[in-house]
């Protein structure tokens, strides 16, 4: 029965992808859903992009090990989202409206008047996010293997076939609407499991008493406050301008919709945050000797829940995985077809041909990670964390400060990106000296390179600033209206 629920879910997302292909008429539809998404679908797709195997498996495992207080991390993440929604999103939406921007390299290339930065951004995205697809595929195949004994090779192929299919056909329309379904499945699947696992553990009070008898810190301060703050702050920094999330702002109707969508995504995230905490701590009481904490979710699904709800929980895990990889895949496909082929090389195609080219690139980009997932590297869970560190170290400073500081230049941005990601990679390779998270070294380097590089080079033109700064827009409008007039 559990497998029937899972198959039903997979068929539903395939169906949505097949249906949504009809709404795609041009590149803007394919990469940004025409910029027409409403608040509910927008909120769901934002939340779904945030959720991954890391949430459905990894976070549950963290709660298994650390108890409830790991949930504070969500508030650091949300703080980052508020900055994105209120500071970055309006400027991104303005760029979408004025220049038809569709990607993060579009944003950087326009703001810094540089094709070089566009290419650097694409290379970093391809490398760092490519790794995350591998990690997600491995995570999903692991779940199918533990739950149903599906060989891991077959598991990788099944998961990949489904998300590649709907992404290639329907682009962001398909992703956004499958994300809505996936968020409902995820939130409902985990939330409905909570009363069952808590009552199996003897009720809320008994659960806490049993947790305290295992380790008193599980009901107090499981993760020490200094560590919690350090981890939370690194999430906060890394997620500012995080490309797969920020890119969603282009696809929503207007600024009002974006702000509402972010609020709706917080509601989805809160339901999931509370649910994964309860599933994790209950698993600790019910199965205190799991081989690895990552087995908490699949074990609860198969051993504790009734078959239909167990299938729903497993579908929720796959939903989290597929929603993230489809978002990553579309972003990588657009980086190659839109940024490199169209913008940098300058090949102009008809609307239809551009969509088909993007579809072909998305297909290829979806297939490339599969062989790597079939021969997984050790410590695959660590890949996501390292990829996030590399991406944040490259993009956080240049996207946020580029949108609020007019003096920022292409040289400053390039030094910042290369310096940030280079420092983060070196710090990771050195094994995090002094136990310090790479972010605490890479972001200062990125900031220093950004400000110094910008201040010693010529500012970008007013035309480049105009899409992002209202006063520059107004100046240009005035100058255009009054010939010969130029403001200082």
Q: Applying CB under 8 A, which residues contact another protein?
A: 67-69, 71-72, 74-75, 78, 82, 85-86, 204-209, 211-212, 216, 219-221, 255-256, 259-260, 262-263, 266-267, 270, 273-274
How far, rounded to the nearest angstrom, does the alpha carbon of residue 168 sit from its chain's CA centroid?
A: 19
CB 72 within 8 Å of CB 225:
no
Closest CB to another protein among 40 and 349? 40
Closest CB to another protein among 128 and 219? 219
Count Cβ atoms below 10 Å from residue 482 Cβ, excluding itself.
Answer: 10
CB 141 within 8 Å of CB 156:
yes
CB of 277 to another protein, least distance (A): 8
Closest CB to another protein among 85 and 361? 85
3-state DSSP assignment of residue 252: strand
CB of 212 to another protein, least distance (A): 7
Closest CB to another protein among 60 and 104? 60
CB of 244 to another protein, least distance (A): 22
Closest CB to another protein among 77 and 425? 77
What is the SS3 string spanning 88-123?
HHHHHHHHHHHHCCCCHHHHHHHHCCCHHHHHHHHH
Which has the closest alpha carbon to 139: 379, 391, 331?
379
CB of 67 to another protein, least distance (A): 8
CB of 257 to another protein, least distance (A): 9
Tokens of 260: 């509402």
CB of 38 to another protein, least distance (A): 14
CB of 216 to another protein, least distance (A): 7
CB 153 within 8 Å of CB 375:
no
Closest CB to another protein among 86 and 367? 86
Tell the residue number behind the tokens 């598991």, with chain if given.
155
How far, rounded to the nearest angstrom, does the alpha carbon of residue 484 sit from its chain's CA centroid?
A: 48
CA distance 2 to 302: 8
CB of 271 to another protein, least distance (A): 10
CB of 39 to another protein, least distance (A): 10
CB of 331 to another protein, least distance (A): 26
Tokens of 290: 């799991």
Tokens of 386: 């390292």
Closest CB to another protein among 222 and 420? 222
CA distance 47 to 264: 8
CB of 95 to another protein, least distance (A): 18
Count Cβ atoms below 10 Å from residue 467 Cβ, excluding itself.
Answer: 20
Rg (CA), the chain: 23
Neighbour-count burial for 214-247, b at 16+ CB within 10 Å, e otherwise: eeeebbeebbeeeebebbbbbbbbbbbbbbbbbb
Tell the residue number behind the tokens 């508020």, with chain if given.
82
Q: Find the helix packing angle between 351-367 and 307-334, rounded to 10°.
A: 120
Residue 375: how many CA atoms within 13 Å on its side-chain side?
Answer: 3
Which burial class, exposed, middle or buried, applies to 480 when counting CB atoms under 10 A from its CB (0-12, 13-18, 19+)?
A: exposed
CB of 83 to another protein, least distance (A): 12
DSSP assignment of 401-435: HHHH-TT--HHHHHHHHHHHHHHHHHHHHTT-GGG
Tokens of 98: 């004025």
CB 177 within 8 Å of CB 41:
yes
Closest CB to another protein among 43 and 105? 43
CB of 62 to another protein, least distance (A): 14
């Amino acid at each position: 029965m559990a497998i029937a629920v899972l198959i039903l879910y997979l068929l539903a997302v395939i169906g949505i992808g097949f249906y949504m292909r009809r709404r795609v008429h041009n590149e803007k539809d394919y990469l940004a859903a025409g910029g027409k998404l409403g608040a509910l679908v927008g909120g769901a797709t934002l939340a779904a992009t945030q959720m991954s195997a890391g949430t459905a498996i990894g976070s549950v495992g963290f709660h298994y090990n650390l108890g409830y207080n790991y949930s504070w991390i969500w508030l650091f993440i949300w703080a980052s989202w508020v900055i994105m929604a209120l500071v970055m999103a309006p400027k991104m939406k303005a760029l979408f409206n004025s220049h038809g921007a569709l990607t993060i390299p579009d944003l950087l290339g326009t703001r810094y008047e540089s094709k070089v930065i566009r290419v650097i951004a694409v290379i970093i995205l391809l490398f760092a996010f490519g790794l995350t697809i591998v990690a997600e595929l491995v995570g999903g195949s692991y779940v199918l293997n533990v739950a149903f004994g599906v060989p891991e090779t077959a598991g990788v192929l099944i998961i990949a076939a489904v998300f590649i299919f709907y992404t290639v056909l329907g682009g962001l329309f398909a992703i956004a609407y499958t994300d809505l379904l996936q968020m409902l499945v995820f939130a409902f699947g985990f939330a409905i499991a909570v009363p069952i696992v808590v009552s199996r553990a003897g009720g809320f009070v008994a659960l806490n008493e049993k947790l305290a008898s295992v380790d008193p810190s599980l009901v107090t301060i499981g993760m020490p406050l200094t560590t919690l703050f350090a981890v939370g702050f690194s999430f906060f920094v890394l997620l500012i301008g995080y490309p797969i999330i920020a890119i969603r702002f282009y696809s929503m109707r207007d600024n009002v919709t974006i702000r509402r969508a972010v609020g709706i995504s917080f509601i989805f995230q809160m339901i999931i945050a509370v649910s994964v905490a309860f599933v994790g701590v209950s698993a600790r009481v019910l199965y205190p000797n799991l081989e690895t904490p990552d087995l908490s979710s699949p074990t609860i699904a198969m051993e504790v829940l009734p078959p239909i709800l167990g299938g729903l929980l497993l579908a929720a895990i796959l939903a989290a995985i597929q929603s993230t990889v489809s978002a990553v895949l579309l972003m990588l496909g657009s980086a190659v077809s839109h940024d490199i082929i169209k913008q940098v090389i300058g090949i102009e195609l008809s609307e239809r041909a551009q969509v088909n080219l993007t579809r072909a690139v998305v297909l290829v980009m979806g297939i490339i990670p599969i062989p790597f997932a079939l021969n997984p590297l050790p410590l695959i869970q660590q890949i996501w964390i390292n990829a996030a560190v590399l991406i944040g170290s490259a993009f956080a400073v240049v996207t946020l400060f580029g949108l609020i500081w007019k003096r920022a230049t292409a040289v400053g941005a390039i030094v910042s990106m290369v310096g940030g990601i280079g420092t983060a990679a070196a710090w990771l390779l050195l094994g995090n000296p002094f136990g310090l998270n790479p972010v605490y070294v890479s972001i200062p380097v990125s900031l220093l390179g950004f400000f110094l590089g910008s201040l010693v080079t010529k500012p970008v033109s007013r035309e480049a600033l105009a899409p992002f700064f209202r006063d520059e827009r107004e100046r240009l409008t005035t100058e255009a209206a009054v010939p010969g007039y130029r403001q200082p």
